[in-house]
Homo-oligomer: A and B are copies of this chain.
């Protein structure tokens, strides 16, 4: 029976850890994933009016007659997209919501060198998985600026992530791929940098309030749940827990780049277990050291209030070389297995 084989695999994974998990990946002879439904949803947002702009005629497809396009009118803005995969028999108690950082949900779907991403890993581990795009990125869509979104979008250069994501020294970035020298022992698949660069999405830096509101709407629509977020998504996840203490049953923040601001807030989230995951070379990097310091202060406040705020420091656990994009690194399954074991230990899986 295929389902029995799948259950046995899950048990093996839980017991044996990362090595078993990696051996059982797609292509590795594992049982098929038993899926109940795949689909997507848009939630949240509002209707905004735009006025005072001139009309014009536009041809949308070659050969089609021109259409009058009215730039003015009422537009749906600030909504959020999530792709879901629901399993036939999830082993997790709650769906797992995956929130990206400054890129789109594709962050979770695949690695630059084409291995299955954390979406597939956590599906195989028994979670229903919802992958979101932040407001104004990916399938969430974006709105006219400056009429609806304040300011202008920011575009990431091909090389910006090299130093920012701790893959190599800034001075070692080179437009010529053959001349790029990463940190020794680095785990990011730099041979496929161009595929990673293709995931870049324009973003605003003025839309935190709107993004938070939409994540809160996803939580209301889907949860109780576990939220796992990376980088910019970390602060949204911490705050989503504060905004829905009855709905968010755990927060896993992978290299979170921010925290909620007000100290007094931390005491409220004491009942929600948190885990923060860090890769390598943070101490050597002033930018990330400062971020980590902020996050650790947040964790201390949560702990002082009686809450659980664990840290999975990969180098401290003997796993070196991980970048900011650790779900894409060449040991991505190992890191995911460690997160999965934390969820097991927190009682987030069915027995």
Contact = CB atoms under 8 A, between A and B. Distances in A.
Interface of A: 1-3, 26-27, 32-43, 45, 47, 50, 58-65, 67, 69-71, 73-76, 79, 81, 83, 85-88, 102, 104-106, 109-110, 114, 116-117, 119-120, 123, 133, 138-139, 141-144, 154-160, 164, 175, 194-195, 197-202, 205, 208, 231-232, 234-235, 257-259, 261, 287, 290-291, 294
Q: What is the interface of chain A mostly: helix, strand, loop, or mixed? A: mixed
Nearest to A158: B74
Given A194-B76, A197-B76, A290-B65, A39 B141 contact: no
A2 B4 CA distance: 10
A28 to B, nearest CB: 11
A81 to B, nearest CB: 7
B74 A40 contact: no
Contacts of A197: 47, 76
A142 B138 CA distance: 9
Contact of A88 (B32, B86, B232): B32
A303 B142 CA distance: 42
Contacts of A59: 205
A26 B116 CA distance: 25
B202 A142 contact: yes
Contact of A73 (B1, B47, B159, B291): B159
Contact of A144 (B70, B123, B155, B287): B155
Contacts of A50: 155
A201 B86 CA distance: 26
Nearest to A37: B26
A115 B254 CA distance: 33
B144 A139 contact: no
Contacts of A164: 67
